[in-house]
């Protein structure tokens, strides 16, 4: 069956961090995954601190746009994924909020019903496409001395009851996708911990401390590369440069194993 999604890049990719978006689109082309680009707005994640209703409405508007096209949403960003999922959960459980959100959506002819699914790039690759399908495309596998530390990104993992991504503390999906490329994966205790980006503006010192502890943990686990599957995580790692460990996105990693560059 042809896989087709509405592609939700998120603000940072459409703004100043386009690399992850470009490599994700190339990867989807290589894997034969189709997508459409809609006039999406902010996923609502950044405003959730300040105004939950604004955040849910923002998310709901995106989902309503995808519902119009009868397409599931696929995003490469875990924060976008987490917030879209969270908003779906809120709308399912709060009839008042559901009503208010739909009243606003109606003003521009939209409607939220909650009938489509929110997917992350990793869940699309693992569940919808499947490991075997992916393996067929790998023509430039990595050598087994490439040891990759998968950095999960917390907003997709938790709260697990809402995100339904994987196990909240002992996930495996990311490693399984990486394994397809022939590279080894390492186990590192901090792989499911926060990268520090959410506090990077409020408290840069603390944010750096969180990031540094993760990188040290990955080095200690004998990794020679970190792989992310989240725009914000990648931005956070790149803020330190790549001197300690190279950091790549899952799209870059897979793209290279498929096309050789």
Partner 1 sequence: MLKYSFYISFVICIGGLIFRMVQWVRFDRDKESAEQSKVKRVFALWESLWNHLVSAQILLMLKAIFWDGLLQVRIFKSSPLRWLAHMSIFWGFILLLLFHALDDYISVWALPEYVSTLNPYMFLRNLCGVFVLSGIIIALYRRRNQLIVTHISNWMDYSVLGLIAAIIVSGFLVEALQIISERQFDNMVLDYMITDDESEISALRAYWAKNYSVSFAQPVDIKNEILLKAGHSVHQDACASCHSLPQYAFVSYNLTQLFAPFATVLHAIHLDEILLVVHYMLCFIGLAWLPFSKMFHMLTTPLNYCMTASSQESSHSAATANGKIVSLDACTHCGACSEHCSVAPIFRVIGNDCILPSEKVGAVRLMAAGRHPIVLNNLSSGNAICTECNQCTLNCPSGIPLLDIWQHAKTELEHKGLYRPEDVIKNHSAYEWADIWKSQTPQKQAYQSFISDDSQTYEACVQCSICTQVCPIVAAASSSGEPIDLTPQQVMNLLRIGLKDRALGTQMVWTCATCYMCQEHCPQGIPVADVLYELRNLAHAQINFKETGEI
Q: Which residues bind partner 1 (CB under 8 A)?
A: 11-12, 14-16, 39-42, 44, 46-55, 57-58, 61, 94, 96-97, 104, 107-108, 154-155, 157-160, 168-169, 193-194, 196, 198-199, 201-203, 205-206, 209-210, 213
The DSSP H or E segment spanning 252 is: helix 250-259
Smallest distance from partner 1 to CB 206, Å: 5
How is residue 204 written in tokens? 């840069």
Kindly tell me which of 81 and 142 has the beta carbon lying closer to partner 1.
81
For partner 1, the closer CB: 175 or 193: 193
Any residues with CB less than 8 A from the CB of 49 and at least 6 apart, and which? none
Shortest Å, Cβ 69 to partner 1: 18
DSSP H or E segment with residue 160: helix 160-163
- Supply 216's token pair: 């040290």
Give me the count of residues in the chain. Answer: 261
* Residue nearer to partner 1 on the CB measure, 153 or 223: 153
**Nearest approach, Cβ of 198 to partner 1 (angstroms)?**
5
Residue 101 beta carbon to partner 1: minimum distance, rounded to whole angstroms: 9
**What letter does residue 128 receive in the DSSP assignment?**
I
Report the DSSP pairing between strands 34-37 and 73-75.
unpaired
Q: How far apart are CA 112 and CA 105, in angstroms?
A: 8
H or E segment to which residue 207 belongs = helix 204-220
Give whichever of 30 and 52 is closer to partner 1, judged by the CB atom. 52
Token code pair at residue 20: 């992850």
- Is 84 or 180 the residue whose CB approaches partner 1 more closely? 84
The minimum distance between CB 247 and partner 1, in angstroms, equals: 19
**Closest CB 141 distance from partner 1, rounded Å:** 33
Query: Distance (Å, rounded) from C-alpha 200 to C-alpha 34?
Result: 35
Nearer Cβ to partner 1 (102/133): 102
> Closer to partner 1 at the Cβ: 26 or 208?
208
CA-closest candidate to residue 224, choices 260, 258, 188: 188
174: region left, alpha or beta (phi > 0 left; psi from -120 to 50 alpha) = alpha
Tokens linked to 108:
């521009």
Distance from C-alpha of 129 to C-alpha of 145, rounded to nearest angstrom: 27
Closest distance to partner 1 from the beta carbon of 51 (Å): 6
């Amino acid at each position: 069956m042809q896989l087709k999604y509405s592609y939700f890049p998120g603000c940072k990719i459409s703004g100043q961090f386009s690399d992850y978006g470009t490599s994700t689109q190339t990867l989807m082309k290589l894997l034969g995954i189709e997508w459409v680009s809609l006039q999406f707005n902010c996923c609502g994640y950044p405003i959730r601190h300040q105004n939950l209703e604004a955040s849910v409405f923002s998310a709901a508007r995106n989902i309503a746009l995808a519902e119009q096209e009868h397409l599931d949403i696929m995003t490469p960003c875990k924060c976008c994924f987490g917030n879209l999922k969270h908003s779906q959960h809120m709308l399912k459980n709060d009839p008042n909020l559901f009503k208010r959100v739909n009243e606003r959506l109606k003003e521009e002819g939209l409607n939220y019903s909650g009938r489509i699914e929110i997917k992350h790039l990793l869940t699309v690759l693992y569940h919808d496409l499947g490991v075997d399908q992916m393996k067929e495309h790998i023509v430039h596998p990595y050598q087994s001395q490439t040891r990759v530390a998968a950095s999960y990104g917390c907003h997709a993992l938790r709260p697990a009851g809402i995100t339904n991504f994987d196990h909240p503390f002992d996930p495996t999906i990311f490693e399984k996708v990486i394994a397809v490329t022939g590279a080894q994966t390492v186990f590192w205790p901090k792989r499911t911990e926060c990268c520090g980006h959410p506090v990077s503006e409020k408290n840069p010192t603390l944010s750096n401390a969180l990031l540094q502890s993760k990188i040290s943990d990955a080095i200690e686990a004998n990794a020679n590369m970190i792989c992310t599957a989240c725009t914000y995580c990648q931005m956070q790692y790149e803020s330190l440069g790549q001197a300690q460990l190279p950091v790549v996105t899952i799209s870059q990693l897979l793209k290279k194993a498929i096309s050789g560059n």
